[in-house]
């Protein structure tokens, strides 16, 4: 008669919200750092000396084994929680303002925007975002207005000289002091020919206002939306021992 083999019990599963998982990740990171810092896995001693710094050989070996086991268990726990949060973020969606996107996309956009506000560090790649585009377009719009003002000032400064030069040429050609030409009409014609014009095929000001509003809505709502999602979305990880 053969004995039936026992089926290994399935590992216990723990269910927790993403918010709880994120909080535990912070705690685990601190605990892992402490474990690693305090872990003494090897030492050197004289063959005739069993005790070093008050710790005997057997105690040291046991402490090293336990310390390593504890560190690896904490690392495994952290990796399991992190992997489940990443998986959850990739499949769940949230709506921020009028845009629906995965949680992962919302987080990435939030991080990129924050990095842009902090400024790029040396050697760090720039991640272009919608905020980057808005800033670029806004700078170009401001430059166009500045160029328009500068050209207007230049035109007005040159106007009298150019008009007088034209009138003098006419007088010289006709051999008389008065030309009979309408000076005001000539000035208006000069302005019409030299007035700065801004080419704005995108209606940039209106476009910028809409884009800026969308960026501001995202910035003001993304934290709340992510917090609500994290507090109501559950992940399942192996139960901690």
179 pLDDT above the threshold of 70: no
Q: What is the pLDDT of residues 147-156, one digit of tens each?
A: 988 888 888 8
- HSE-up (13 A, CA, CB side) for residue 165: 6
For the chain, the first-to-last Cα distance in angstroms comes to: 37
The span from the CA of 220 to the CA of 96, in Å, is 9
The span from the CA of 182 to the CA of 162, in Å, is 15
Q: What is the mean pLDDT of the chain?
A: 82
The span from the CA of 141 to the CA of 94, in Å, is 33
Domain chopping of the chain, boundaries = 13-119+223-238
Rg (CA), the chain: 37
When pLDDT is cut at 50, 70 and 90, the band that residue 122 belongs to is very low
Global pTM exceeds 0.85: no
Distances (CA, A) of 52 to 45, 49, 110, 120: 7, 7, 52, 49
The span from the CA of 62 to the CA of 77, in Å, is 22
Q: What is the pLDDT of residues 60-88, one digit of tens each?
A: 888 988 998 899 889 989 999 999 999 99
């Amino acid at each position: 008669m053969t004995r039936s083999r026992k089926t290994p019990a399935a590992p216990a599963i723990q269910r927790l919200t993403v918010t709880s998982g994120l909080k535990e990740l912070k705690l685990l990171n601190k605990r892992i750092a402490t474990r690693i810092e305090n872990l003494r896995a090897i030492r050197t001693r004289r063959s005739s000396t069993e005790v070093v710094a008050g710790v005997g050989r057997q105690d040291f070996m046991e402490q090293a084994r336990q310390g390593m086991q504890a560190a690896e268990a904490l690392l495994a726990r952290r990796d399991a929680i992190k992997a489940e949060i990443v998986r959850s973020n990739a499949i769940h969606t949230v709506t921020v303002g009028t845009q629906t996107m995965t949680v992962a996309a919302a987080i990435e956009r939030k991080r990129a925007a924050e990095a842009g506000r902090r400024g790029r560090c040396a050697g760090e790649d720039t991640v272009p975002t919608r905020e980057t585009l808005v800033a670029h377009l806004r700078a170009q719009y401001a430059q166009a207005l500045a160029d328009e003002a500068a050209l207007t000032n230049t035109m007005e400064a040159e106007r009298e000289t150019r008009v007088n030069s034209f009138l003098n040429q006419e007088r010289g050609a006709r051999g008389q002091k008065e030309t009979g030409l309408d000076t005001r009409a000539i000035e208006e014609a000069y302005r019409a020919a030299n007035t700065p014009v801004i080419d704005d095929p995108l209606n940039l000001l209106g476009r910028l206002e809409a884009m800026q509003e969308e960026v501001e809505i995202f910035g003001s709502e993304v934290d709340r939306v992510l917090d609500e999602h994290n507090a109501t979305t559950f992940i399942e990880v192996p139960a901690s021992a």
